[in-house]
Each structure stands twice: as structure tokens, then as C-alpha cells.
Structure 1
Amino acid sequence: MRAARYYGNGDIRIEEIPEPTVGPGEVGIDVAWCGICGTDLHEYKDGPIFCPSPGHPHPISGEDAPITLGHEFSGVVYEVGDGVDDLEVGQHVVVEPYIISDDVDTSEANMAYHLSPDMNFIGLAGRGGGLGEKVSVRRRWVHPIGESIPLDQAALIEPLSVGYHAYQRSGATSGDLAVIAGAGPIGLLLAAVLKAEGITVVMSEISELRRRKALDSGVADHAFSPAEVDVAEQVRELSSDGRGADVAFECTSVQPAMDTLVDALRPTGVLVVVSIWGGRGSFDMQQIVLKELDVRGTIAYVNSHPETIRLVEQGRIDPGPFVTGKIGLDGLLDDGFDTLIHRNETAVKILVSPSGRGL
């Protein structure tokens, strides 16, 4: 089968590799669509980061580069291993792409399995990936979806789950006012979750194209450019009592955006840092103290996929507007990575069909 293989910084190759063996307790998935994530771009430009370097295998997967990329994917079950009796061939599924040690409790009772030592991801640290035609995944991480969700849109369940977990971390409730800094893929999908939960969304974004996407897709109620207006003042004017937003989400890893959110929050508001920062950030500590703000981090998801899937199945979230391109493996670098690195305002999610059958 064909797969996109990560060898190192700037080195991704489309190669023929053996099909995976579906072992006991595993599910063989014929990949339909796989999204290109910002993490994949960081690995390509600046890595290895999550991907293990040659000669340095990941402590859980036991694999090192080259590895098959891709962790945002949907597909169809083509085989089930011994002991798997609750899924069947032909069923549509998505994957919660964790690589977690066998001694970690990954049940619904543990809301911290994603914080366990050496946690990593399928498609970044081994165990196959969605940028290969087929993958075998442990049953725990496979989530069935209704056929009412098109398989291309289903590939967005994984990044939507990132947004859902960030929403959970914020403690926001219906009727709250939220401000998001950054209308990139995660910012937009987070906004979709917030709107589904009855929260008013204000988007702060410099790019006119991204602001327009946020408004036209219906996931933002208001969108402002911080280069043109005082976003914090606009948020205060929109709030019911003039004191600011209840919650704020940082999705840029840019210091001025962080400063704007701290300013835009009401006293006792909650700031959730969603983006992964490549360097140190800072806070106006006086505002944090005098306004008694809560600052919370969030990483990936934990038991978030089932509820995210329900929101999509119920029609409360429409992933369709965020699928902005579809390509085959041969176009991965020129049509996929190059667009997202150099012309990222023009795209949200570019999906890859590893087999080419979806094109």
C-alpha cells in the first residue's frame, strides 16, 4: 500500500509499504480521508518534535523514523481482530489517535489519561497513520460514527474534539460570551463547538479571509481585526454589563493576542490557552491578580470524541464549510503542505485520500 513517510525535517516521501496485520483486539481501517494538521506542518518545517528521530524509538510504540504520518482521519472497517465483537466490517469509524502505555487506565473514569508519561499520537510516533491506505488500531481508540456523517467531514472529528475539550476546560455555559484569538482551523472548529453549546462567539483575527469564513460559516457572531479596532473594548461593549467576556481562548501562540484576551476578560473570567507555544509567553500579572482571572491549559482531548460525534450527528455542528480542499497522496507536499504553509489564509482543512478513491 502507499503511505506518506516522515524521515525528518523537510523529508517526507510517498512510498510503498506492507499492509498492516490486524492483531487481536485491533480494528483494520481502510482510510477514507485524512486531514493535514498544523502539527504535521511543524514536524515538516521544524521537526522532529512528536516524531521520534532515527535511532531513538518512542518508548511506547518502539518505532522511530521513518513513520507514517496522519492522525486526523476517518475510514471504513475492513477487518476486526480476535476479541472485537462490537464492530463489524463495513462500519464507518474515526480514531482517537493516542499512543498510551498499557498500564494507564483509559476508561471514562480517568479524565487524565492524555497526560500520562510518554503520551503520543498514532501518525506521529508510529503505529501507522491516516496518510497510509490502511491502518490497524486498537479497539479502545476506534469510535463508530453514523453514516449520516459524510466520511470527508468525519475526518474533522479529531480537531473538533480538540475544540470540545477546550470548551470543557473553560467551564463555559449557554448564554456566556466568549472571545477567540485566531480563526485558524482550531479556532474555527472551537467556535463551532461553542456555538453548538449556546455561547456567543467573538473572533479576533487579522486576516480578512479568515474573519469572513468565521462569519459566513455561522460559527462567530462578531469578528474584528486587532489591527483595525480595540478588540477588548469591542468585547466590553458587546457584554451585557460592559465588563467583558466570560471566557477567552488563545489559538495563535502570539503574544499580542494573549494580551488582548487578558484585557477583554471580565473579572473572574477564564483564559484557556489552546495553542502550543514554541517559546515562552508572558502575562500582565497585575491584570491576572486584580481581576482574579483563571488561566488554564488544554492539550488534545480526553473522552471527548463520543460527545463531539453526537454534536455532529445531531446537526448541531456542520463541518462541511471547513473542508476547503481534497487531494491525493501525490499532491501532499505541493498542493497540501505548500498551500498551508505559504497561503494558509486560503484554506482551513485540506483532506487527503490515500487511495485516491475519494477523488
Structure 2
Amino acid sequence: MRAARYYGNKDIRIEEIDEPTAGAGEVLIDVAFCGICGTDLHEYLDGPIFCPTPDTPTSWTGETAPVTLGHEFSGVVAALGEGITDLEVGDTVVVEPYILKDGTDTGPDSTDYHLSEGMNFIGLGGGGGGLAEKLAVRRRWVHKIDPSIPLDQAALIEPLAVAYHGVQRSGAKAGDIAVIGGAGPIGLLTGAVLRALGVTVVISELSSLRRQKALDSGAADHALDPAAVDVAQEVHDLTGGKGADIAFEATSVQAVLDTLMDALRPTGVLLNISIWGHRSDFDMHKLVMKEIDLRGSIGYVNNHPAVIELVESGKIDLAPFITGRIQLEDLIDKGFDTLIHRNETAVKILVSPSGKGVDPA
């Protein structure tokens, strides 16, 4: 089968590899669509980070480079390993793509397995990946979805779970006013979750195309251009001088973080959902004087069932966030290059390893 294999910095190759089989307790999945994540771009440009080197594994799989990429994917059950009786061949599924140390408590009451020692992701640290025609995954990480959900939209359930967990960490509730810094995929999906909960959303974004996408997709009530207006002042005006209840940093840009701090009301919550590759020059005095509650968020933990319910119930429509469907061989030219050099034109580009369901050339 074909797969996108990560060898190292700016070295991803489409290769033929052996098809996997489903071992005991595993599910073999025919991949339908796999999204390109910002983390994949970081690995391509600046990595390896989560990915291993040819000499050093980074996950409990013990694999070294090359590894198959892709952790935002949907598909159809192709085969079931020994011991699995609660799924059937033909079921449509998504995957919670964790690689954890054996023995980690991943039960329904766990709130911290995503923070366990050596946590990594399928499609980054090994374990196969969604940028291949098939992969085998432990039953624990496979989530069945209703067949009424199109498989291209289902591929966005993983990043939507990232947004959902961030919102959960923030403590947002109906009637709150939230400001989001950045209308990239996670910023937009965070807005979608917030609005589904009854929160008023203000997004700050430099790109006019992304501001319009925030409004058209229903991810925001207001979209502000930080180059044209004082975002903090606009937020204070919208809230009768009070300031936002919650702010979400989704850019890893210092100026955005500073703006969000100014836009928050005293005792507000600042939730960082972006990955920073550098240290922040954070204004601790302002945090103290406003008694701001600063929180971080990574991944998801037992969030997929609630996220899937949001999509199946129609409370969140993922279709507007899909801006391209490409074939595996076009991964770099039409996928990575677009997201690196023309990212204002794209939100989520999906890859079809089989070549089915791609957009016309």
C-alpha cells in the first residue's frame, strides 16, 4: 500500500509499504480522509519533534524514522482482531490517536492519560498513520460514528476534540463572552464549540479571508482586524466596558497574547491552546493586577464521545472548514506548500490515500 513516510526535516516520501494486519485487540481501518495538521507542518519545517530520528525513537512503539504520518483521520473498519465483538466490518470510525505506555489508566474516569509519561501520537511517533491506505489501531482508540456523518467531515473530529478540550479547560458557559486570537483551524473550531454552548465569540485575525470564514462558518459573532482596530478596546466596547470573560490564544504570537490580556476582564480566564516553539515574554504584573487565571490545554482526554455527539446532533457543522481534498501524491505541492505559503486561503486540507473523493484538478 502507499503511505507518506517521514524521514526528517523537509523529507517526506510517498512510498509502497506492507499492508498491516489486525492483531489481537486491534481494528484494521481503511482510511477515507486524513487532515494535514499544524503539527505535521512543524515536523516538516522544524522537526523532528514528536517524530523519531533514524537513531532515536520518541514513543513507546520503539520505532525510528521513517514513520508514517497522519493523525486526523476517518475510515471504515476492514477487519477485526481476535477478541473484538462490539464493532463490525463496514462500521465508520474515527481514531483518538494516542500512543501511551502500557498500563496507563485510560478508563472513562481518567482525566490525565493525555499527560502521562512519554505520551505521543499515532501518525507522529509511530504506530502507522492516516496518510496511508490502511492502519491497525488498538480497540480503545477507535470511536464508532453514525454513517450519516460524511467521512470527510469526520476527519475533523480529532481537531474538534482539541478545541472541545480547550473550551472545557476554560470553564466557558452559556452567556459568556469569549475572544479568540487567531482564526486558523483550531481557532475556528474553538469558536464553533463555544457558539454551540451559547457563548458569544469575538475573533481577532489579520487575514480578511479567514475573518470572513469565521463569520460564514458560524464560528464567530464578530471578526476584528487587529491591524485596523484596537481589539482590546473593541472588546471592552462590546461588553459595556467590562472585558471578555475568557480569551483563547491560538497563534503562539506574543502580540496576540498581549492583546488578549488587555481584552480580558479582571478575574478572567486566559486559555493557551497553541503550541509555542519559543518562550513567551509574558507580563506577570498585569496578570497579578487583574487576577487573571492562566491555563494551558493539550490534546483531549475522554472527550471524543461528547464531540461526536455534537457533530451527530447537528450542533456543529464541520463542512465549512474543509477547503480542499487532495490525493496522497499531491501531499507536498497542494497540501503542505499551500498551508505554509498561502495559509490564508485554506483552513483544513484533507488527503485521500485511496484517491477517492478528491476535488477536481
Q: TM-score, normalised by structure 2?
A: 0.98
Q: How does 1:119-268 map to 2 (within 5 A)?
A: 119-239=119-239, 241-268=240-267
| 1-structure distance, mates of 2:139, 2:258 | 43
Query: Quick one: distance in 2 between partners of 1:26 and 1:118?
Result: 22
CA contact (8 A) 2:68 2:123 kept: yes
Report SS of the residue matched to 2:350. Answer: strand
Contact 2:50 2:58 in 1 (8 A): no
2:61–2:127 contact (8 Å) kept in structure 1 = yes
* Residue segments in structure 2 that go unaligned for 5+ positions in a row: none
1:333 aligns with 2:332: yes
**CA offsets per residue over residues 259-302 of structure 1, 9 Å max, x none?**
00000000110000011001000222222111111000000111
* Displacement after TM superposition at 1:357 (Å): 2.1
CA distance in structure 1 between the partners assigned to 2:121 and 2:114 by the alignment? 10
* One-letter identity of the residue aligned with 1:270: V
- Aligned mates of 2:76, 2:218 — CA distance in 1: 30
Matches of 1:55 and 1:220 in 2, distance apart?
Answer: 45
Q: CA deviation at 1:46?
A: 0.7
Residues 298-317 of structure 1: matches in 2 within 5 Å? 298-317=297-316
Q: Judge conservation of contact 2:59–2:119 (CA < 8 Å) in 1.
A: no
Q: 2:289 matched to 1:290?
A: yes
Stretch of structure 1 that moved more, 28-37 or 58-67: 58-67
Structure-1 residue corresponding to 2:350 = 351
Q: CA deviation at 1:102?
A: 1.2
Please report how far the alpha carbon of residue 148 of structure 1 lies from its aligned counterpart in structure 2 after TM superposition: 1.4
For residues 96-122 of structure 1, give each alpha carbon's deviation from its aligned partner in whole angstroms, at most 9, with x where no partner exists. 000001111011211000000110000
Could you give the per-residue CA deviations for residues 237-278 of structure 1, whole angstroms, max 9, x where no partner exists? Answer: 111x42100000000000000000000000110000011001
> CA offsets, 1:52-111, max 9 Å, x none?
111112341110100000000000001011111111100000000000011110112110
> What is the SS of the residue equivalent to 1:105?
coil
Q: Percent identity?
A: 70
Any idea what SS the aligned residue of 1:101 has? coil
Q: Could you tell me how far apart the structure 2 residues matched to 1:89 and 1:181 are? A: 42
> Could you say what the CA RMSD is over the residues aligned between the two structures, in angstroms?
0.7
C-alpha distance in 2 between matches for 1:53 and 1:107: 32
Q: What SS does structure 1 have at the residue aligned with 2:215?
A: helix
Q: Name the CA distance, whole Å, in 2 between partners of 1:35 and 1:305.
A: 17
- Which TM-score applies when normalising by structure 1? 0.99
Q: Distance in 1 between matches of 2:205 and 2:241?
A: 22
Q: Structure 1 regions of 5+ residues with no counterpart?
A: none
**Using the alignment, how far apart are the partners of 2:49 and 2:31 within structure 1?**
25
Q: How many pairs does the alignment contain?
A: 358
Q: Deviations over 1:193-217 (max 9, x none)?
A: 1111110000001111110100111
Residue number in structure 2 paired with 1:24? 24
CA distance in 2, matches of 1:349, 1:219: 14
Any idea what SS the aligned residue of 1:269 has? strand
**In 1, Cα distance between equivalents of 2:230 and 2:315:** 32
Q: Which residue of 1 aligns with 2:76?
A: 76
Which deviates further from its counterpart, 53-62 or 11-20? 53-62
Give 3-state SS (helix, strand or coil) of 1:88's partner: coil
Q: Is the 8 A contact 2:70 2:130 kept in 1?
A: yes
